[in-house]
Amino acid sequence: MPIDEHLARTKRRDAALNSERLMQAAREVFARQGLSATLEDIAQHAGVGVGTVYRNFASKREIIETLYDAALDSVLADVQTALEIQDPWVAIVTFFEVTASNQAQDRGLCETFLGHDGFGPDERIAEELVAVVSPLFDRASEAGVLREGVTVTDIGPIFAMLDGVYRMSDARPDLWRRYLALILDGLRAGDRPALPVPALDVAAFKTALTAAD
């Protein structure tokens, strides 16, 4: 009973094109302006009217979820890539650089990760993030290349810090590299004093990443 297939097959070609354009426009507009961009902005960027947006998506929220579910997966994949790097320290550095680079180019992605989207808590992100990144940190810890007391949950505040830098300098899109370098130097094992207060525990990490704004 290929009813759906039949309907899909008869979708007009121009409609399909607009659908593509809209996805792309949403990606670009949310990346540049963040999730508070209006559907009007997106429609205009795609060269269509708002009505057309609603022919393709049920709501703004649906657009965002469609867009950033995929994005989340891609970040998780980046972590896997970093894990394949032999040197545990280089793997850590690579993980931060790749992820930060993605986020620097996509304000909507940042908001999704830091829970600054207008939606309720999404524990899934925090949960998966810890699960996937942990091995990276564990390995570095065991190899003795991580500073005493540094843990996975430090990635939350670190990405929050980098977010502050992205937003500060449209004119210098790579400024974050300077401060990430600073932070990474601080994370590396060496002859240093202990850090003054402990990192978040995993429960607090989840809360912190899902606290509404």
Partner DNA sequence: CCTAAATGGAATGAGGCATTCCGCTTAGTG
Partner DNA sequence: CACTAAGCGGAATGCCTCATTCCATTTAGG
Q: Residue 51 binds which entry of DNA, a copy of itself, none, with Cβ cut-offs from 5 to 8 Å by kind?
A: DNA
Q: Return the residues of window 21-60 that contact DNA according to CB under 7 A.
A: 36, 38-40, 47-52, 54-55, 59-60
The answer for residues whose C-beta is within 8 angstroms of residue 53's C-beta and 6 or more apart is: 22, 39, 42, 43, 63
- For 146-204, the DSSP string reads BPTT--GGGHHHHHHHHHHHHHH-TT-TTTHHHHHHHHHHHHB-SS-PPPSSPPPPHHH
Does position 211 interact with a copy of itself (CB under 8 A)? The reply is yes
- Token code pair at residue 133: 């990144």
- Tell me the C-alpha to C-alpha distance, in Å, between residue 64 and each of 24, 61, 104, 107: 12, 5, 18, 12
Binding mask 93-132 for a copy of itself (x = CB under 8 A): ---------------------x------------------
Does position 12 interact with DNA (CB under 7 A)? The reply is yes
Q: Residue 60 binds which entry of a copy of itself, DNA, none, with Cβ cut-offs from 5 to 8 Å by kind?
A: DNA
Contact 103, 109 (CB under 8 A): yes
Least separation, in Å, of the C-beta of 171 and DNA? 23
Binding site residues, DNA, CB under 7 A: 10-15, 18, 36, 38-40, 47-52, 54-55, 59-61
